[in-house]
Amino acid sequence: MKDRMKILMVASEAVPFIKAGGLSDVVGSLSGALSGLGHEVAVVLPKYSEIDFSAHKIEPFLSPMKVWMGNTRHFCAVHRAVLSGGVTAYFIEFNEYFQRNGIYHNENFEDYGDNARRFSFLSNAALKLCREINFKPDIVHCHDWQTAPAAAYLKIWYANDKLLKDAASMLTIHNIGHQGVYGGEHYDYTGLGWDNFTQDKFEDYGRTNFLKGGIHYADMVNTVSPKYAWETRHTDLGSGLQAYLNAKGDNYIGILNGADYTEWNPSSDPLIPARYSATDMKGKEKCKKELQKRMLLEEDPGKAVIGVVSRFAYQKGMDILAYVLEKILKEMEVQFVILGAGDKGLEHYYGELPKRYPGRVGSYIGYSNELAHLIEAGSDFFVMPSRYEPCGLNQIYSMKYGTLPIVSATGGLDDTVEQYDESTGGGTGFKFYEVTPHALYYTVGWAVSTYYDRKQHMKKMIKKAMETDFSWKRESLSYIDAYKKAIQIKKSR
């Protein structure tokens, strides 16, 4: 086996170009980590109108590129940027699909009706690009339902292609709650063939399920934490795909997400007002002061600040927090800072809270990377009451910033946060096991009582949290092992 692999990443988002959530962080940082190991990595993304081309030095590269979707012929163009870490990013320009606001949905969070077409086109165009530029990937790495079809195109359309026939595929499931299920009428357009519209592949009660098809066709499938891999196999968290995941046997695994500590690190973060580390925490006090000031909270260094940065989606349990938040405010000496967007009802609720609890609650409804960094740095605790969480990155970032996570013990949250041990001061955060308002309420109370009553334990936990290493050092090697396995599987077919 070659030491230097050629890796084609196909994804719907990646930092530093475009981001809706953690998928973007992972695609961007994993690509960089793999390139850092000496592999040749190409990332293919759509050219969305939101991407700032001049800021990223993205240049026109190829035009026109012809892509056949079944019997439909499209002409698109390709742009390119070379990142400092050595990764090459390609952007597929096709205005009919990608020249609009938002990545997946409009301003009202309504999914675009043609997403099935948009992303099957992206998946196919990425492979066509390999042929155009003579890039012979050893592995095609797809992410979530949006690019899962690439694994299928590879086996269906490119099975005899000189350049692509040996390429193996890997599919990473970042969230099985989104499977790309659309009316069967979209299937024809994909050109994947009606003989593959069967229950074990793309068909799902008469509709098209892109993730399911990808699971069938990918040589290796993984999700983003070991616990979520288990949950999706054995519980309802598999969202109906349990049997298909189990059918993959050992070829479905969990690999924990890594964090990019060049972006998320209090000792070098340019987005926060002062830098700090586990051995010198002074800067954190300054960050807390600045956060309180900015969010119009009472500027008291002694008050516990609880931060939230979240999409307001069912998964994240922000409705569960809403249920107990005012009880917490009435009974405990705490302040809340909330950053997020999504569900309109929750946006309204959290948006109005500062007016109702002046000096005690600050919120910003919308997206702000800079504020996200300040909340990580300036808070004492970070709460994530997720109903499920494939991995979760914010708790990992929080720990690096010495901000103790309060989380439900699900998926990657359970894998990354070590439960507080009140007898020793061990652990890195506070976990609850039933995702209910009561469990959340009492666990916040437990954390807050530790803050006021067991300061030595807080110190010990903060140090341990900051020193726990969640960088890609280990897990990028797990991906390499999985790629090698995928290549073996492909060969043996």
Sites of contact with ligand GLC (CB under 6 A): 21-23, 26, 174-175, 224, 257, 389-393, 412
Minimum separation from the CB atom of position 104 to ligand GLC (A): 12
- Candidate segments 63-71, 204-212, 265-273, 334-342, binder of ligand ADP by CB under 6 A: 334-342
Minimum separation from the CB atom of position 22 to ligand ADP (A): 2
Residue 340 near which of ligand ADP, ligand GLC, none (CB within 5-8 Å, type-dependent): ligand ADP
- Please report which helix (H) or strand (E) contains residue 484, including its range: helix 472-492
Query: Would you say 145 or 432 has its CB closer to ligand GLC?
Result: 145
Which residue has its beta carbon closest to ligand GLC?
Answer: 22
Minimum separation from the CB atom of position 252 to ligand ADP (A): 20
Q: Rounded CA gap, 187 and 8, in Å?
A: 25
- Total residues in contact with ligand ADP, by rule CB under 6 A: 18
Nearest to 207 by CA among 183, 188, 171, 180: 183
Is position 25 an interface residue for ligand ADP (rule: CB under 6 A)?
A: yes
Is position 311 an interface residue for ligand ADP (rule: CB under 6 A)?
A: yes
Q: How many CB atoms lie within 10 A of CB 475?
A: 18
Contact mark string toward ligand ADP, 369..408, x via CB under 6 A? x--x------------------xxxx--------------
Minimum separation from the CB atom of position 460 to ligand ADP (A): 25
Query: Would you say 129 or 399 has its CB closer to ligand ADP?
Result: 399
Minimum separation from the CB atom of position 412 to ligand ADP (A): 8
Owner of token pair 């056949």: 68
Select the residue interacting with ligand ADP from 12, 13, 22, 322 (CB under 6 A). Answer: 22
Is position 466 an interface residue for ligand ADP (rule: CB under 6 A)?
A: no
Residue 362 near which of ligand ADP, ligand GLC, none (CB within 5-8 Å, type-dependent): none
Torsion angle, alpha carbons of 187, 189, 192, 198, to 10: 20
Q: What share of the chain is helix, strand, coil (3-state, %, to 5)?
A: 40, 25, 35
Select the residue interacting with ligand ADP from 16, 21, 184, 191 (CB under 6 A). Answer: 21
Is beta strand 252-254 parallel, antiparallel or unpaired with respect to 220-223? parallel
Residue 190 near which of ligand ADP, ligand GLC, none (CB within 5-8 Å, type-dependent): none
Residue 123 near which of ligand ADP, ligand GLC, none (CB within 5-8 Å, type-dependent): none
Select the residue interacting with ligand ADP from 95, 235, 368, 449 (CB under 6 A). Answer: 368
Judge whether 143 and 208 are in contact, CB under 8 Å.
Answer: no
Query: Would you say 67 or 383 has its CB closer to ligand ADP?
Result: 383
424-463 residues labelled b (16+ CB within 10 A) or e (exposed): ebebbbbbbeebbbebbbebbbbbbebbeeeeebbebbbe
Is beta strand 72-82 parallel, antiparallel or unpaired with respect to 88-93? antiparallel
202-213 residues labelled b (16+ CB within 10 A) or e (exposed): bbbeebbbbbbb
Minimum separation from the CB atom of position 433 to ligand ADP (A): 20
Q: Rounded CA gap, 401 and 465, in Å?
A: 8
3-state secondary structure of 60: strand
Residue 224 near which of ligand ADP, ligand GLC, none (CB within 5-8 Å, type-dependent): ligand GLC
466 contacts: CB under 8 Å, gap ≥ 6: 266, 277, 278, 399, 400, 401, 402
3-state secondary structure of 142: strand
Which residue has its beta carbon closest to ligand ADP?
Answer: 22
Select the residue interacting with ligand ADP from 8, 142, 341, 447 (CB under 6 A). Answer: 341
Please, which of residues 175-194 interact with ligand ADP by CB under 6 A?
none
Instruction: Please name every residue paired with 431 in a beta bridge, in sequence order, or none if there are none.
Output: 407
Judge whether 95 and 64 are in contact, CB under 8 Å.
Answer: no
Q: Output the furthest CA–CA distance in the chain (Å, rounded).
A: 69
Minimum separation from the CB atom of position 413 to ligand ADP (A): 9
Is position 295 an interface residue for ligand ADP (rule: CB under 6 A)?
A: no
Q: Rounded CA gap, 195 and 206, in Å?
A: 14
Judge whether 133 and 61 are in contact, CB under 8 Å.
Answer: no
Is position 413 an interface residue for ligand ADP (rule: CB under 6 A)?
A: no
Judge whether 58 and 80 are in contact, CB under 8 Å.
Answer: yes
Residue 269 near which of ligand GLC, ligand ADP, none (CB within 5-8 Å, type-dependent): none
Is position 367 an interface residue for ligand ADP (rule: CB under 6 A)?
A: yes
Minimum separation from the CB atom of position 178 to ligand ADP (A): 10
Please give the residue ranges that form the binding site for ligand ADP (CB under 6 A).
Answer: 21-23, 25, 309-311, 339-341, 367-369, 372, 391-394
